Structure 1
Amino acid sequence: MTAPLKNGITVLVHEWVTGGGMAGAPLPASWAAEGHAMRRAIAADFAGLPGIRVVMTLDDRLPDEPGPWTIFRVGGRTQESDTWARRAADADWTVLIAPETGGTLADCSRTLARRGGRSLGSTPEAIELAGDKLQLAAFLSDRGFPTPQSRRVVPSLPLPTDFPYPAVLKPIDGAGSVDTFLIPGPLLVPDEAKALPEALLQPFLPGVPSSATFLIGPERQARLIAIGRQRVEVQEGRFVYRGGILPDLEASPAPVLAEAVESIRGLRGLVGVDFLRDHERETVTILEINPRPTTSYVGLAQLLPPGRLAKAWIDIVEGIHESADWPREGIVRSENSVTFDTDGTIDRMKEREASRE
């Protein structure tokens, strides 16, 4: 059993892209859409808990968003860049959502700690390891986890000819599928890819693009929430992430995914794993570990009672959730699936309503 939450808890939800982190700069459309969807899904879930007050940061240029939360505007000319963190110091917990690109998420985590806030997420060191895809690939490979061969390249220079093609070219610290390309051969690099100062080259492997969502606490035991299927397309040589399907009714828990998450000291809170599931070989290949909430929260919020995931999140980070309470197959138990887009739109749900724990 878990302890009841005390009344009067304040949770600040700071999504960097739409929450004022890019004040004065254009908002990238794909990041803004995903950030908006995650922010609202997470804020609504925490607001579904009795006694929880949710404060949600919002870029000063964006329209009001009425809901069961208090809006804190960020981005005015008189505000400092870390205004949100000073507000977080007054909250009991803070949920940080930001891309790993350019060290943004790790910097936000450090700023939060410096201002005295309490994060429901990972340490800056864990974020830096997971956010550097080349470093992560070496870390996983050295420990025997299944992950693709990875090589650092400069796309404007000739790509290696001794590498297996087709291959995937992507930013070393990218988020989502931004600037991720399918490369048929070493001489067939699109101009957009050549603009990257450096990138990661990996073989294009067979398998179903999938994701697993875990909660992990201070004791470093990863608890599975659900496994989903990613909707990924290749358009004009670029990979495009369209959302996902949760849960994946054909998938079964793969212990190696949890073991990989547990191997990184400092991962905490909600963590996502992107992987390929090969039906024929009955294997998984780990592609990335996301040290933060992902768009999957949009689908999970449709399959669980309001506040169910939010409470488990706080409990596990506080170290008060008993392992015996947690099913091996995850807490999403449904014979039906929900499909979601990156902007938070729910495309469809199978005819029978998804069961709710």
Structure 2
Amino acid sequence: MAKTTTPREMRTILIHEWVTGGGLAGQMLPASWAAEGGAMRRAICRDFSLIPGIRVLMTLDAGLPDEPGPWETIRIGPGEEWEQLRQLASRSDFTAVIAPESSGLLEERAALLAKIGAKSLGSTPEAIAVAGDKLRVSELLNQRQIPTPRSQRVEPALGLPDDFPYPAVLKPIDGAGSVDTFLVSDASWSSGGTFTGSAALIQPLIDGIPMSASLLVGKDGAVLIALGRQDVSIRAGRFAYSGGRLPADPRAIDANVLAAVDAIPGLAGFVGVDYLWDEAKAEATIVEVNPRPTTSYVGLSHILPAGMLARAWLDAITGEIGPESGGLAVVVHSRPPIRFRADGTITPEPGGVES
């Protein structure tokens, strides 16, 4: 299929965010996923649209209100997502898909892009399959002696193991965010029917500062963009993620974070690593590797000069490395800190960079 006719110097980038971009068209959108997905979609679309010579196509659920901006909106109705994604990606120079790893959602769409020969701004389907399986990631990290919580597969409906170290964290094996993530006091714990999956992962509760590292991964490896502190709370026995603070202390990272990215071949584009930072040991314990853009993009696009992060992301994929690509972390960590909410709200954080 021929690409859309645009001026010779223009390149078209398709941004398809699954939750608010039509993947659930005609259905009730999960509130937390919709808030985070919508915030990321707007931030990414706006950032790419600020690059000279870039035309942005943005998918939007046909049931949502208009979101005018420096992009072209493609409405997606019930049952239209797959065909629209196929056609739009075929006509675009690059496509970025943002979706949860749950139930193979992100992997399947990445596989579609690979099948039709579309150029993806993200990870390969194989890398997404690995990163989306938290038990598999745990095994990989253990093999490489990278600190990560002990992980065991369980079926909550059949009971929890008596010999596991409690308190513990119970989460879906392929979950995203803090959905269905519980604090478990002992083996007698019951979700009261609120845990929606069958198989789950149980891990010991580990002390540490919840952190996130944002990286760009390209042909020449991973480049750190920023460190942030996550705002994670426990409400009625459930973990809740509400955003974070950027930048965090640039010293709150060790080699384990980049080693975790290297452990999964095929990661590409914007990648996030969640970890717990032990200040006393100066050691990171890796919790998750996210093979996709994370909510941190919302805060980073506010901190960095307009379009700088999107330009570096594109450079990482194409190999057209610009002079600014290696200096993102320096810029981010020189800026006054901000707090960003999962819904995209940005507020200044009093004081200087954390230390």
The amino acid that maps onto 2:183 is L
Query: Residue 208 of structure 1: CA displacement?
Result: 0.4
* Pair 137,273 (structure 1): closer, same or farther in 2 beyond 3 Å: same
Q: Which moved more, 1:116-125 or 1:194-203?
A: 194-203
Q: Which moved more, 1:175-184 or 1:112-121?
A: 112-121
Counterparts of 1:289-328 in structure 2, within 5 Å, are 289-321=289-321, 326-327=326-327
* Pair 199,76 (structure 1): closer, same or farther in 2 beyond 3 Å: closer
SS of 2:34's partner is helix
Q: Between the two proteins, what is the percent identity of the paired residues?
A: 51
Give the number of aligned pairs. Answer: 346
Q: Distance in 2 between matches of 1:329 and 1:11?
A: 25
The amino acid that maps onto 1:246 is L
Deviations 1:127-154 (A, max 9, x none): 0000000111111111111101000000
Contact residue 89 and residue 118 of structure 2 kept, 8 A: yes
Contact residue 180 and residue 196 of structure 2 kept, 8 A: no
Query: Residue 162 of structure 1: CA displacement?
Result: 1.1
SS of 1:156's partner is helix
Contact residue 337 and residue 349 of structure 2 kept, 8 A: yes
Deviations 1:40-74 (A, max 9, x none): 00000001111111110000100110000000011
Deviations 1:264-297 (A, max 9, x none): 1100000000000011221110000000000000
TM (norm. structure 2) is 0.93
* Pair 68,206 (structure 1): closer, same or farther in 2 beyond 3 Å: same
SS of 1:46's partner is helix
Partner of 2:73: 71
Partner of 2:3: none
TM (norm. structure 1) is 0.92
Contact residue 180 and residue 195 of structure 2 kept, 8 A: no
The amino acid that maps onto 1:293 is P
Q: Distance in 2 between matches of 1:257 and 1:144?
A: 12
Partner of 1:8: 10
Contact residue 217 and residue 223 of structure 2 kept, 8 A: yes
Partner of 2:284: 284
Partner of 1:237: 237
Query: Residue 193 of structure 1: CA displacement?
Result: 4.9
The amino acid that maps onto 1:217 is G
> Is 2:167 the partner of 1:179?
no
Partner of 2:257: 257
Contact residue 223 and residue 330 of structure 1 kept, 8 A: no
Q: Distance in 2 between matches of 1:25 and 1:294?
A: 24
Query: Residue 34 of structure 1: CA displacement?
Result: 0.4
* Pair 9,194 (structure 1): closer, same or farther in 2 beyond 3 Å: closer
The amino acid that maps onto 1:245 is R
Query: Residue 331 of structure 1: CA displacement?
Result: 4.5
Partner of 1:3: none
SS of 2:157's partner is coil
Query: Residue 329 of structure 1: CA displacement?
Result: 5.0
Contact residue 231 and residue 241 of structure 1 kept, 8 A: yes
* Pair 339,251 (structure 1): closer, same or farther in 2 beyond 3 Å: farther
Query: Residue 350 of structure 1: CA displacement?
Result: 3.7
Deviations 1:166-202 (A, max 9, x none): 0000000001000000001111222145543110000
SS of 1:343's partner is coil
Q: Distance in 1 between matches of 2:189 and 2:323?
A: 50
Q: Distance in 2 between matches of 1:324 and 1:30?
A: 34
Contact residue 169 and residue 199 of structure 1 kept, 8 A: yes
SS of 2:63's partner is coil
Query: Residue 85 of structure 1: CA displacement?
Result: 2.5
* Pair 46,210 (structure 1): closer, same or farther in 2 beyond 3 Å: same
* Pair 193,165 (structure 1): closer, same or farther in 2 beyond 3 Å: farther
Deviations 1:285-342 (A, max 9, x none): 0000000000000000111001101111111111232799625955413252110100
RMSD (Å) for aligned C-alpha atoms: 2.0
Q: Which runs of 4+ in 1 moved over 4 A?
A: 322-325, 327-331
Q: Distance in 2 between matches of 1:329 and 1:51?
A: 25
Partner of 1:52: 54
* Pair 119,335 (structure 1): closer, same or farther in 2 beyond 3 Å: closer
Deviations 1:84-121 (A, max 9, x none): 22111111111110000000000010112223321000
Query: Residue 81 of structure 1: CA displacement?
Result: 3.0
Contact residue 253 and residue 328 of structure 1 kept, 8 A: no
Q: Distance in 2 between matches of 1:247 and 1:40?
A: 21
Contact residue 261 and residue 289 of structure 1 kept, 8 A: yes
Q: Distance in 1 between matches of 2:100 and 2:170?
A: 18
Partner of 2:347: 347
